[in-house]
Structure 1
Amino acid sequence: MACWLLRLVVVLTIITVGEGKQNAPQVCHPNDLKGLTSFKDGIHVDTSGRLAKWIGHSCCSWEGITCNQMTGRVTEIRLPGFISTNDFLFQSQMTGLLSPSLTLVSCLEVMDLGGLTGLAGRIPPLIGLCLPNLRKLYLYGNKLSGPVPDSIGKLSKLEELHLHENRLSGSLPSNLGNLKNLNQLLVYSNELTGMIPDSFKNLTNMKQMDLHSNILTGHIPDRIGEMQILEKLDLSKNLLRGKVPLSLANLNAISEMYLDTNHLEGEIPFPSSFGQLSSLCFLRLNDNHLTGRIPTNFGNMVSLQRVSLANNKIEGVIPSSLGNLSALTELYLSGNLLSGQIPKSVGELSQLIMFNASHNRIQGPLPQELSSLQNLQTLDLSFNQFNLISFPQCLAELPSLSRIYLAGCGIQGEILDFLQAAPSTIQELDLSANHLTGSLPAWLGSLTQLYKLNLSRNSLVSRIPDSVTNLQQLGLLDLHSNKLTGPINNVFQIGNAFSEGSLTYIDLSDNYFSAGIAQAGVGAQTGVQYLNLSHNFLKGRVATTIGRLKSLQTLDLSCNKLGFNLPEAFANVSSLEKLKLQKNQFTGRIPVGFLKLRKLKELDLSDNLLAGEIPEGKPLSNFPQSSYSGNKDLCGKPLIPCKVEV
C-alpha cells in the first residue's frame, strides 16, 4: 500500500510540473521576437492599446499572438481593426508602416492585420518565400500601396487572401493561379490594372472571387466556369471586355454572380439546359453592352431571387418562362431595347417586390395578371410605348404597392380619384411626361406618407391646393412644365419644409405662378437643397429670409419679373453652388457679401438692371463676362473697368 501511494505522489508531481512548464511564459524565438518588435516599432499610433502591452521576451503571452505549444514558434498574428467582445464593439486604428521584418516569423499560419485603416507601406516582397505555412492573409481596409508581390504565388497552403480596399496597383500575378487550396480571393477596391490572368481557371477550389472596383481590362478566362465549387463571382465595376464565356454555365454551385459595370458584349450564353446554374440566386449583368435576347429558357434558373439586366442593348420580348422563377423578388430590365408585351406569366411571381422595366419599347396593354402581385412594392414601367390612355385601376388595387412610376406612358385625362382609396400607402408617385389635364386634386393632401410627387411635363391648369401642407413627409416636389397658376406660398408651408421638414427638392419652373416668393425661407433652418422657380411670372422683392435656406445648393429664379436690390442675405447661404437670377429686373449693386459664397460654381446675373462695380475677388472674378452681360451700368472684372471719378 505504501509503495502504491508513493507511486501516486510521484505521478501527480510529474503531471503538476509538466503543466507548470506548459503554462509558463515562453521566451520568443529570436527571429519571431525581432519580427514582432520591428512591426511594433513601425507603428506610431495604436488606438487599441494592444501593442503597448508587448513587453519583455515572452511573446507567446502577448495579446493577438498565438504560438505552437510544442515548438514555441509564433503561428498566428491576429490584430484586426474591428474588435468585438461581449462588452463592446470598437474600431481601432494603427498608423504607421508595415514592417517587412514580419517575414522573419517564418512559422506563421495566419496574419490578420485587416481594417486597421492607417497601416501603410507595401506588402513585403518576399512574403511568399519566407512564410511557407501561411494559410490566411488578411491585409484589407488599409492604405497599402504598390504591387501584389509575385511571391504570394508560392504560398501553396494559402486558403484565404483578403487584400481589398487598399491602394494596390500593378497587375495581378499570374502565378496566383498556382494556389490550388485558395478558396477566397478578395482584391476589390484597389487600383489594379491589366488582364485577369488565364491561370485563374486553375483555381478549382475557389468559393468566392471578388475583383470589382479596379481598372482591370481584357476578357474573363475561358475556362473560369470549371471552378465547380465557386459560390460567389464578383467581377463588377472593372473594364472587362469581350463576351460572357459559355463556361460560366458550368458553375453549378455558384449562388452569386456579379459581372455588372464592365464592357461585356454579345449574347447572354446561359443556360442551355435545365439544371445548369441551378443554385444561382443573385445575378447582376447590368451596365454592359450585352445584345441579343433574353434566352427563352431563362426561367430554368429556378433559384433566382434578384436579377439585373439593366442598361444593356438587349432586345426582343420578355420570355414567358420568367413565370417559373417562383423565388424572384427583384427584377431590373430597364434601359434596354425590349419590345412586345409584358407576359401574362409575370403574375405567377408571387414573391416579386421590385419590378423595373422602364426605358424600353414595351407595348400595351398591361396584363391583368399584374393584379396577382400581392407583394409588389415598387413598379417602374416609365418611358415605354404602352399608350395607357388612363391610369390602370388594377395597379391602384395592389395591397403592397407604394412606389409607382408610370412616366411617359401616354396617360391622358384627369388624375383619377381611385388613387385616393388605394389600399396601399403611396410613398412615391411619378406620372410625369404624360398628357394629364385638369386640376391638382385636393385629395393629394390625404396621401400623408407621400415622399416623392412628380407630375411635371403635363398640362395641369389649376392652383396648388392648400391641402398639400398636410404632406409632412414630402421630400421631392416636381410640378415643372405645366400650366399651374396662382401663388406658391403654401408650398413653403409643406411639412414645415423650411424648418425641420424633409423637403429637399422643389421644382415649380415653367408655369404661370405669379406670387409667393416673399414666403421663401420663412422659418428657421431648412433642408431644401434644390429650388427652381424659373420661367414664371413672379414679381416683387425676394425676401431677406431666403438667407435661412442653409442647405440650399441650387437656386434658380431666372426669367421672372423680380425686382429691387439683390438681398444681402444671399451671402448667408454658404452651401450655394449654382445661382441663376438672369432675365429679371434686379437693380442696385451686387452685394459684397457674395464674395462669401466660396462654393459657387455657376452664376448668372445677366439681363437685369444692376449697376456699379462688381466686387473684386473670388468667386465672382472666376465667372465669364456672360454671367454679368446685359446690365448696362455694371463694370469691373471681367467686364470693362469702371471709370475713375476725378
Structure 2
Amino acid sequence: MNTSSSSSSFPLFIFAAIIFLRCLNPTGAATCHPDDEAGLLAFKAGITRDPSGILSSWKKGTACCSWNGVTCLTGDRVTALTVAGQSDVAGSFLSGTISPSLAKLQHLDGIYFTDLKNITGSFPQFLFRLPKLIYVYIENNRLSGPLPVNIGSLSQFEAFSLEGNRFTGPIPSSISNLTRLSQLNLGNNLLTGTIPLGIANLKLMSSLNLGGNRLTGTIPDVFKSMTELRSLTLSRNRFSGNLPPSIASLSPILRFLELGQNNLSGTIPSYLSRFKALDTLDLSRNRFSGIVPKSFANLTKIFNLDLSHNLLTDPFPELFVKGIESLDLSYNQFHLKMIPKWVTSSPIIFSLKLAKCGIKMRFDDWKPAETYFYDFIDLSENEISGSPARFLNQTEYLVEFRAAGNKLRFDMGKLKFAKTLKTLDLSRNLVFGKVPATVAGLKTLNVSRNHLCGKLPATKFPASAFAGNDCLCGSPLSPCKV
C-alpha cells in the first residue's frame, strides 16, 4: 500500500511558505551578517561533491540573502536554510558532512536538508546552540550513530524529522521533554529498544512516525493524551502483543493508522470502526486472527485498507465506502467467492490485491465500474476461470497484473495490454497459443506451467519464465526443430 501521504517529507505548506517568503527577501541587501556568511561558507566547504551545483551561488562577498536556499526575514540575518536534492534525479546529490559552524546562524528558525543522500556524520550537535530553531527536517541522508541522550533539551522544537538516515540505538527517554512538537518523524532509521512511556507528554502531536526501524516490545498505552493526533505510523518494526486500548481515544480525528509488518496479535478491535475520519488502515503482515468486525461497515471514508498476510477468517463484512483506492486482503483464510460489489463499483480504485481469497468466478463476469485508474492487480492463488483479455485491453495505466495459480483459459497470442505494464504473471493456468512479441517490453514475466506453444519472441527473460509448457521453443529454451 502506498501511504506516503501520511509519512511524507516536510509538509508542502511549509515548503510553499519558504518559497513565498524567499520572494519577499530584500535582494538589494549589499551583504549579510558576517557570522551568517562565515557559517554558510563553512557549510559549503564541508561539501565534497555538488554535481548539480546546488550551492553554486554561495560566493564570498555577495549578498548571502540572495543565495539559493537561504532565507532572510530580519534584515541581514538568515532565518531559514533549505538545501534539497532531487530524489528522482540520480547524480544530483551532495556528498560531505554538515559543518558545526552553522551554529553561527543565531537567528535560524528552520533547517530543511532533504534528499541529499550522501551527507554523513553523527547527530548534528550545533542544533543545541540555535535558540530560535523550531523546524528541523534532516531527511534522507546518511547520518549515523546514536541520538543524544539530552535530545530533550531541544524543547523549543515544533517539528522534528530525521527520517531516512542510519541512526542506531534507543529513542532517548528525554524526548518526553519536547512538549511543543506537533510532528516527530524518526522513521526509516536503525533504532532499537522500546518506545519511551514519556512520549505520552507530547500532547500537541499531530503526526508521529517511528516506522521502518528495529523497535521491539509492545506498543505502549500512551495515546489518551494525544488528542490532536491525525497520523500514527509504527509499521515495519518488531512490535508484538495486542493493540493498546488507548488507541481507541484517537477515533475522532485520526486519518492514518499504519501498523503493518510487525508481530502484533489478537483480534482486530471493534473500536477501530469508530474512526470515522480514517483514510488509511494498514495492519498487514502481523498475526491478527479471528473475524474482521462487522462494524467495519461504519468506515465510510476509508480509501486504503491493507489486512493482508494475517490469520483472519470469514465472513468479511460488506463495506459502504463511496470509493476505495487500494485494497489488500491477500493471504488470510477468507473465502470471498466473488470480488465484492463495493470493490467492483469503486470509481477510483488503483490497487486490488485479493490473492488466495477463495474467489471462484469467471473473469469475464467481472465488470468493474472503472478500469482507467487501475495500476496493480493481484488475484493469484484463486479458482478464477475464463479470460482477462477484455479487461487487460481496457486498462490504460496498469503496471502489474498477477493471476498465477488460477484456471484462466485464453489465447495469449491475442492478448493486448497497456504500454505501462511492467509485470505479468500468468503462471500455473490453462493459457494456450503463442507468446506475443509485445512481452519484450515487460520487466518481469512468468508464463510457466501453461499450454503455450510455438517459437518464443526475442526477450531477456530466463528459461524459468517459460518452463513447463506444451511446446515452446527458441531461446532461452531449446532451439525449434526445422
- Structure 1 unaligned regions, length at least 5: 1-20, 84-88, 354-371, 452-471, 485-489, 550-554, 564-646
Could you tell me which amino acid in structure 1 is paired with residue 44 of structure 2? K
1:405 aligns with 2:403: no
1:222 counterpart SS class? coil
In 1, the alpha carbon distance for the partners of 2:347 and 2:80 equals 53
- Higher RCO, Cα 8 Å, sep 6+: 2
Could you tell me which amino acid in structure 2 is paired with residue 330 of structure 1? S
- Change in Cα spacing, 1:78 to 1:421, as seen in structure 2 (3 Å) is closer
CA contact (8 A) 2:327 2:351 kept: no
Of 58-67 and 229-238, deviating more is 58-67
In 2, the alpha carbon distance for the partners of 1:473 and 1:60 equals 47
The corresponding residue for 2:33 is 28
Cα offset, 1:334, TM superposition: 2.3
- Change in Cα spacing, 1:225 to 1:49, as seen in structure 2 (3 Å) is same
Could you tell me which amino acid in structure 1 is paired with residue 45 of structure 2? D
Equivalent residues in 2 for 1:260-279, closer than 5 Å: 260-271=260-271, 276-279=274-277
The corresponding residue for 1:210 is 209
In 1, the alpha carbon distance for the partners of 2:189 and 2:208 equals 14
- Change in Cα spacing, 1:103 to 1:296, as seen in structure 2 (3 Å) is same
The corresponding residue for 1:391 is 362
Cα offset, 1:177, TM superposition: 2.0
Cα offset, 1:207, TM superposition: 1.4
CA contact (8 A) 1:505 1:531 kept: no
Cα offset, 1:132, TM superposition: 2.4
In 2, the alpha carbon distance for the partners of 1:377 and 1:22 equals 46
CA contact (8 A) 2:221 2:244 kept: yes
CA contact (8 A) 1:194 1:215 kept: yes
The corresponding residue for 1:505 is 445
Which of the residues 75, 79, 83 maps onto 2:79?
Answer: 75
The corresponding residue for 1:111 is 111
Cα offset, 1:529, TM superposition: 4.2
Which of the residues 42, 52, 60 maps onto 1:55?
Answer: 60
The corresponding residue for 1:495 is 437
Equivalent residues in 2 for 1:456-475, closer than 5 Å: none
Which of the residues 280, 291, 295 maps onto 1:282?
Answer: 280
1:324 counterpart SS class? coil
- Structure 2 unaligned regions, length at least 5: 1-25
Cα offset, 1:109, TM superposition: 1.4
CA contact (8 A) 1:200 1:221 kept: no
1:317 counterpart SS class? coil
The corresponding residue for 2:18 is none
1:120 counterpart SS class? strand
Which of the residues 40, 44, 56 maps onto 2:44?
Answer: 40
- For these two proteins, the number of residue pairs brought into alignment is 445
CA contact (8 A) 1:43 1:97 kept: yes
Could you tell me which amino acid in structure 1 is paired with residue 282 of structure 2? R
Could you tell me which amino acid in structure 1 is paired with residue 301 of structure 2? S
CA contact (8 A) 1:25 1:60 kept: no
The corresponding residue for 2:329 is 333
1:157 counterpart SS class? coil
The corresponding residue for 2:149 is 150
Cα offset, 1:237, TM superposition: 0.8
CA offset digits 1:84-128 (Å, max 9, x no partner): xxxxx9985332111223234333211222222222112233532
Equivalent residues in 2 for 1:161-176, closer than 5 Å: 161-176=160-175
- Change in Cα spacing, 1:94 to 1:294, as seen in structure 2 (3 Å) is same
Equivalent residues in 2 for 1:571-586, closer than 5 Å: none
The corresponding residue for 1:199 is 198
In 2, the alpha carbon distance for the partners of 1:416 and 1:59 equals 67
CA contact (8 A) 2:303 2:326 kept: yes
The corresponding residue for 2:461 is 528
CA contact (8 A) 1:288 1:312 kept: yes
Equivalent residues in 2 for 1:197-276, closer than 5 Å: 197-251=196-250, 252-271=252-271, 276=274
CA contact (8 A) 2:257 2:280 kept: yes
Cα offset, 1:66, TM superposition: 4.0
CA contact (8 A) 1:245 1:269 kept: no
In 2, the alpha carbon distance for the partners of 1:378 and 1:24 equals 52
1:448 aligns with 2:416: yes
CA contact (8 A) 2:403 2:427 kept: no
1:302 aligns with 2:244: no
In 1, the alpha carbon distance for the partners of 2:70 and 2:176 equals 30
- Change in Cα spacing, 1:134 to 1:270, as seen in structure 2 (3 Å) is farther
CA contact (8 A) 1:477 1:506 kept: yes
CA contact (8 A) 1:311 1:336 kept: yes
CA offset digits 1:195-246 (Å, max 9, x no partner): 1111212211111222221111122220224311111111111111221111
The corresponding residue for 1:455 is none
Could you tell me which amino acid in structure 2 is paired with residue 184 of structure 1? Q
- Change in Cα spacing, 1:323 to 1:94, as seen in structure 2 (3 Å) is closer
1:226 counterpart SS class? coil
- Change in Cα spacing, 1:94 to 1:334, as seen in structure 2 (3 Å) is closer
CA contact (8 A) 1:398 1:424 kept: no
1:160 aligns with 2:159: yes
CA contact (8 A) 2:235 2:261 kept: yes
In 2, the alpha carbon distance for the partners of 1:58 and 1:375 equals 50
Cα offset, 1:391, TM superposition: 3.3
The corresponding residue for 1:425 is 394
Could you tell me which amino acid in structure 2 is paired with residue 45 of structure 1? R
CA contact (8 A) 1:98 1:123 kept: no
Cα offset, 1:424, TM superposition: 8.0
Could you tell me which amino acid in structure 1 is paired with residue 80 of structure 2? E
Equivalent residues in 2 for 1:365-384, closer than 5 Å: 383=356
Aligned-pair Cα RMSD in Å: 4.4
CA contact (8 A) 2:152 2:174 kept: yes
1:331 counterpart SS class? strand
The corresponding residue for 1:642 is none
Cα offset, 1:538, TM superposition: 6.8
In 2, the alpha carbon distance for the partners of 1:396 and 1:295 equals 27
CA contact (8 A) 2:151 2:175 kept: yes
- Change in Cα spacing, 1:445 to 1:229, as seen in structure 2 (3 Å) is same
Q: TM-score, normalised by structure 2?
A: 0.76
Larger Rg over CA atoms: 1
CA contact (8 A) 2:393 2:417 kept: no
CA contact (8 A) 1:374 1:399 kept: yes
Equivalent residues in 2 for 1:604-643, closer than 5 Å: none
In 1, the alpha carbon distance for the partners of 2:441 and 2:65 equals 58
- Change in Cα spacing, 1:25 to 1:504, as seen in structure 2 (3 Å) is closer
- Percent identity for Structure 1 against Structure 2: 27
Cα offset, 1:326, TM superposition: 3.5
Cα offset, 1:316, TM superposition: 4.3
